[in-house]
Amino acid sequence: MGGFIRNFQLGLKDNQRNPYCMLLHIDYKKNGHKIIKKRIQQLTEKIVDSIERNEQVFFGLLNRCYANLYKSKIKSSKFPSREEVIRNLYIALKDEVKTLVINSDQEKSIKYDETGEMVLDTPYTVFIGAYAVTRGVTFKNLISFVFGRNSKEKCMDTSIQQLRVLGYRTLDDLSVTRMYATYNMVQTWFKMYELEQEFKKCWANYEKTRKDIHYNELLDLVKMGVSIDKTFKVTNSSKIPKDKVKVKPNSFIVIKDFDVHKNKKRASKYLSRNRAFIKKLSKQYGIKQIENSKATYITAEVNAAKEILKNVHASIEGINGNKIGGFTEVISVLEKYNYIHIYTKDNRGRSHIRQDDNQKGRYDLQPHSGQDKINAKKISNGLPVLMVLIQNPENGSSFSVPVIWLVLYVPSSFDKIFLISR
């Protein structure tokens, strides 16, 4: 009815009238789309029949709709009388309304013009759809929209996709535009708007100070600035690009996928350099012993850990020329701290071949033991722990010379999930 009123206000002839559309986004199942289409057709026939029979129940509903639209009428435009609406609505419902399903089965039947816009070839179209709609179509002259379902997750990037179904229209068409959605979805959209505004404000502040900030830190500031439901996500973490990786709190990152450098002298040189450097650190910062354990550690500035990483990297190479795994993740975590605990073990006797009954003969990719994990968590106290585990070849190692295994414990206080390039 809103579309008819706008065409009436514009005073256009039949062959000049703007095509308007309505969208029903209620069910994501294809069978549900069929049922909805059938109900729309039945309802259209019922309204036509009600007008012909002069049924008062229908006219009572029409009067309410007419009064609602009249409240938002454009002052400079003429508005049709109730009788004109009934007469032309009857003609439109009989001959000018098309119901069209949009899903993966029906996408090929949708017509698009040379600019990629959907072609509306009837005066009034009722679209029924779900995922195929929210992920790729924007509707022109959409003046009626029913969003009758909630998302499984409250997620900002999902909401942005959903909001494209709100379509676009001229400013004057807003007077007859009506949108309907569930309370939960409307609240999510408003919360998303608050987040966006807070994000812009935080970003502007950091641009003024020229201070570098990690994207995830900025998101944390945004969340603090907005009272937000903990279930609301800024992005869906399951949709992380393939060239990105997650670093989670309370996790262990192992430097892996490497072999001793083919130049054995070089490997031995950097191993010796690291041993000497750790000895220097122990004198500079002092050695601490873990409670109820023989294991020891050093608390040093984070640059010391970076120096150890540098020496280790020089003594090894990727398997078959591939990239060594874990370095990027470790460096990214270290960048967030000023100090770190360095947990060392020399003459490491951990065999790479498991000896337990169930897994005998299996290669063990974890250079750190269960006790190492316990010790790291015990000494962390909010700081990362870099395990420097020096493995000798005579102790079951698959390497022909001594090698340093590095493992970084990410503390539980690390309350962000960083997305970093591999």
At CB < 8 A and 24+ separation, what contacts does 184-192 make? 184/150, 185/147, 185/149, 185/150, 185/151, 188/151, 188/154, 188/159, 188/232, 189/159, 189/162, 189/163, 191/154, 191/226, 191/228, 191/229, 191/232, 192/156, 192/159, 192/160
Mean pLDDT of 399-408: 79
**Confidence label for 341 from pLDDT (cuts 50, 70 and 90):** very high
CB 257 within 8 A of CB 324: yes
Angle between helices 30-53 and 56-71 (to 10 degrees): 110
Most confident of 19-28, 32-41, 158-167: 32-41
Mean pLDDT of 11-37: 77
Handedness of CA 81, 86, 91, 93 (dihedral sign): positive
Write out pLDDT tens, residues 345-372.
Answer: 876 655 554 444 454 444 445 778 888 8
Query: Is the model's pTM score more than 0.75?
Result: no
Amino acid at 227: S
Write out pLDDT tens, residues 160-190.
Answer: 666 666 777 877 788 788 888 888 888 877 8
Question: 29-33, 223-227, 356-360: lowest mean pLDDT where?
Answer: 356-360
**Confidence label for 224 from pLDDT (cuts 50, 70 and 90):** low
Write out pLDDT tens, residues 314-324.
Answer: 888 887 777 88
Mean pLDDT of 277-292: 90
Mean pLDDT of 60-84: 80
Pairing of strands 20-25, 124-129: parallel
The pLDDT of residue 337 is above 70: yes
Largest CA distance in the chain: 99
CB 88 within 8 A of CB 80: yes
